[in-house]
A and B are shown apart, each in its own frame.
With several copies, the nearest count.
Chain A
Amino acid sequence: MKSKNIKNVFKEGPISSEFIGNSIYKHQSKTSIGAHNIFLGQVRADVVNGKTVSAIEYTAYQDMANQKFHDIREATFNKFQLTCMHIYHSLGTVKAGEICLFVFVSAPHRKVVFKALEYVVEEIKAHVPVFGKEIFEDQSHQWKVNN
């Protein structure tokens, strides 16, 4: 297996605002940082044919996904001068309004964090094998596709 030293990016259920706040707090001891940029993916209550999405149930090919997250992380550190980067993705049920993706990049100066964050998020959307089942209020479902 390739999964040596590969972090587990997944968290069961939604990512709480307390977790995010605490993650920000932990970076206040890193006084070389001047700029943080955070992306949060939140589950939308989309209406499809009159039915409203109430939650997304996430599954993943976890070994491959963690490998891809690792590769994205390495590529991002190679491309951009970042001080640190953190990625968390939900598995299982995340209700509408709850957060399913948390990407956090930090650097001494701001310009690089904008480019780095967008790069990371687009790479995740394109290359990480995560699957989302959109559950409607009547318990029917459809499969989410990134665009």
Chain B
Amino acid sequence: MQITIKYFGQIVEVTHKTEETLEVSGNQIADVLNTLQTKYIKLKDLGFQIAQNQELVSLNTKISGAEIALLPPFAGG
């Protein structure tokens, strides 16, 4: 499935881009993560949460096809 993935904060220092569309095989968020960690090995060193359609999700959440984002620790305020 084609998935649009957004990167923020420190994640961008690893991906060197803020957004891309990737082909992901599998149907869980864990599969997206595997694809990304293969492409960007240094992602394994960073802490982040994953959002799908602007809601935080867990690794066994089903991929819906909506936008996914990698969110490093929040620092608002």
Contacts and interface: CB of A to CB of B under 8 A. Distances in A.
A–B touching in complex (CB under 8 Å): yes
Contact of A64 (B9, B51, B73): B51
A63 B76 contact: no
A1 to B, nearest CB: 9
Nearest to A89: B76
A89 B77 contact: yes
A129 B71 contact: yes
Interface string A50-86: 0000001011110111010000000000000000000
Contacts, number: 71
Of the four ranges (under 10, 10 to 19, 20 to 34, 35 or more), the interface on chain B belongs to 10 to 19
A59 B70 CA distance: 13
Given A61-B6, A143-B9, A125 B73 contact: no
Contacts of B76: 60, 65, 89, 101, 124-125, 128-130, 132, 146
B72 A2 contact: no
Interface string A1-16: 0100000000000000
A145 B71 CA distance: 12
A133 B77 contact: no
Most buried by A among B9, B53, B75, B76: B76
Nearest to B72: A131
Most buried by A among B6, B10, B71, B74: B74
